[in-house]
């Protein structure tokens, strides 16, 4: 148990619907990352927070994706107007920061867009 939790674990939605995922990092960790992973590939970076500030966002991330970390603790990732190509595992990871950059991953949210 790494201490990072994600909710829900699985989500099935219809194309065009909006979905929101939640990540609760390890409590003392300052940095929080979102990745997307499809079968046979490694995790692909989406976005990153240092406390409540979103410091980097992948160019691959379309305007339909938005993430927040309002109080520097939990984070949400929203996908608007979902497309079938959004089907993937969405992974959240956290790290302590301050030179301690090992990322600890949550169990992921598996999204299926029909």
Partner 1 sequence: GQNIDQPTEMTATEGAIVQINCTYQTSGFNGLFWYQQHAGEAPTFLSYNVLDGLEEKGRFSSFLSRSKGYSYLLLKELQMKDSASYLCAVRDGNTNAGKSTFGDGTTLTVKP
Query: Any contact of residue 42 with partner 1 (CB under 8 A)?
Result: yes
Least gap, CB of 73 to partner 1 (angstroms): 18
Could you give the CA distance from residue 31 to residue 49 in angstroms, rounded to a whole number? 6
Query: Any contact of residue 72 with partner 1 (CB under 8 A)?
Result: no
Question: Could you tell me which residues come within 8 angstroms of residue 5 by beta carbon, excluding any fewer than 6 positions away?
Answer: 23, 24, 106, 107
Give me 47's structure tokens: 């976005």
The residue among 50 and 80 lying less far from partner 1, judged by its C-beta, is: 50
Torsion angle, CA of 79/13/88/33, rounded to 10 degrees? 40
Least gap, CB of 7 to partner 1 (angstroms): 14
**The only residue of 19, 21, 25, 31 in contact with partner 1, by rule CB under 8 A:** 31
Give yes or no for a contact between 17 and 83, defined as CB atoms under 8 angstroms apart. no
Contact footprint for partner 1 (CB under 8 A): 2, 31, 33, 35, 40-45, 48, 50, 55-56, 91, 95, 97, 101-108
């Amino acid at each position: 148990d790494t201490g990072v939790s994600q909710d829900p674990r699985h989500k099935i939605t219809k194309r065009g619907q909006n979905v929101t995922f939640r990540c609760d990092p390890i409590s003392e960790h300052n940095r929080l990352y979102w990745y997307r992973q499809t079968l046979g590939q490694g995790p692909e970076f989406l976005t990153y927070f240092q406390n409540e500030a979103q410091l980097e966002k992948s160019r691959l991330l379309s305007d339909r994706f938005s993430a927040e970390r309002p109080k520097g603790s939990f984070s949400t990732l929203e996908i608007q107007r979902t497309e079938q190509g959004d089907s993937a595992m969405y992974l959240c990871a956290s790290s302590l920061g301050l030179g301690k950059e090992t990322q600890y991953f949550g169990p992921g949210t598996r999204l299926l867009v029909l």
